[in-house]
Amino acid sequence: MSNLIAPHGGKGLTICLLEGAALEAEKKKAAGLKKVNISPRVKGDLIMIGTGGFSPLGGFMTEADWKGVCEKFLLADGTFWPIPVTLDVSKEDADAIKVGEEIALYYPKSKEIMATMKVTEKFAMTDEKKRWECEKVYMGEGTPTAEAFWKIAKADHPGVQMVMNQGPVNLAGPVKVLSEGQYPTEYKGVYLRPAESRKIFDERGWKEVAAMQLRNPMHRSHEYLAKIAVEVCDGCFIHSLVGNLKPGDIPADVRVECIDVLVKNYFVDDKVVQGGYPLDMRYAGPREALLHATFRQNYGCSRMIIGRDHAGVGDFYGMFEAQTIFEKIPCPKEPGKALLCTPLKIDWTFYCKKCDGMASLRTCPHGKEDRVLLSGTMLRKMLSENMEVPDHFGREEVLVVLRKYYASLDEKVEVKLHGAATGK
């Protein structure tokens, strides 16, 4: 019997990915259904629903779910959930689809039917509703008023841009997932389903597992956070996003290579597991930190490392807002409906020359002039502009991989620095 934390929702893993004869039969049926094009974000959400990563979700949210999640962090049935998981379509598609009808969800980039879905509800998403969702989900302490938020959000917040560019109608209903896309082959050995990560943790005898979220290559601060987790838990799950990022972010295959190099040279092998998951970043800061903890619970993790500006972008969020939000969320009393994965809160970390090692604001008494402030954004800017990387910012083995990647680029995207990246 497993000693790991139970999946979120109290129902075990909700798996909607078909296999074997059921998969082949559904593929044949799907070929004759009305096709609806889906975005990369929806593709990632579908795969997470399929594998059980988004348990207990078995499909896309109803309007009651959507509203409850935005306003109260709760699905319509009272289960905690922090961010909408919705399927948006064009008006033309919506008009052509009837409630009760089955449709095929088609990803045009790979020319593949990803899933079938029974439409149980259609609901309009006006610009007013989209703006309300953005203010509830994406507005943080960095922009304390809606007026201040909208002055910069449309131009500078990729999550807000994603919502505002969505189609005018959402479809709700259960799905049957037919494919995991390119992930099992392109990231073989790294891409893991929740059942697979749980099996690995069980085989190692782990009970308390801390998850580390990564969308940047691992620098010394990430390494330090992971090692703190190894000290206080049975092991650390270095779980990096292999879905889509914003322009200027480093692609997944390069980040995976960096993690491989770092783990091989600087970690005890049986205390760390590397994994990848297929979502697109939403850059929702505190709300996304909650989402990361929610689906990491499904992967078998009881702790979620939350450091400075987790899943943030620009200066939209307070430096530690992603930590304090865990204290403000509802805690449903019904078994399984509350979030059980708890934050492992760690202060701003850096290399201190006087301490002669990694430290944090909680442990280092020295001044800013003695610290090498570590940020993934700063590292990307230095590498993209061929600047010298300061000593102790990153391991040399990792920097070799990154310099090779940046040297291969024909065009470089400007990397904007924000307050948290510069230490202001």
**Would you write out the chain's pLDDT as a tens digit for each of its 424 residues?**
899 999 999 999 999 999 999 999 999 999 999 999 999 999 999 999 999 999 999 999 999 999 999 999 999 999 999 999 999 999 999 999 999 999 999 999 999 999 999 999 999 999 999 999 999 999 999 999 999 999 999 999 999 999 999 999 999 999 999 999 999 999 999 999 999 999 999 999 999 999 999 888 888 889 999 999 999 999 999 999 988 777 777 888 898 999 999 999 999 989 999 999 999 989 999 999 999 999 999 999 999 999 988 999 999 999 999 999 999 999 999 999 999 999 999 999 999 999 999 999 999 999 999 999 867 677 878 888 888 888 888 899 999 999 999 888 877 656 565 555 444 4
Return the CA Rg of the chain. 21
The rounded distance, in Å, linking the Cα atoms of 388 and 229 is 30
Q: Under CATH, which architecture does the 20-125+166-179 domain have? A: Roll (3.10)
Active-site entry in 41, 193, 198, 216: 216
Domain 188-348+400-406 has CATH 3.40.50.620: yes
Position 412 scores a pLDDT of: 65
Six-digit token pair at 111?
A: 């020319």
216 a catalytic residue: yes
Q: CA-CA distance, 159 to 152, in Å (whole number)?
A: 12
What's the pLDDT score for residue 385? 85
Domain ranges of the chain: 20-125+166-179, 188-348+400-406
Q: What is the pLDDT of residue 123?
A: 98
Out of 41, 193, 215, 308, the active site residue is 215
The per-residue pLDDT for 134 is: 98
| pLDDT for res 63 | 98
Give the alpha-carbon dihedral of 208, 214, 217, 220, to 10 degrees: -50
12: its two tokens: 């075990």
pLDDT number for residue 394: 86
Per the DSSP assignment, residues forming a β-bridge with 411 are none
Distance from chain centroid for Cα 209: 18
Question: Which residue from 342, 319, 316, 318 is spatially nearest to 329, judged by alpha carbons?
Answer: 342
pLDDT score, position 417: 54
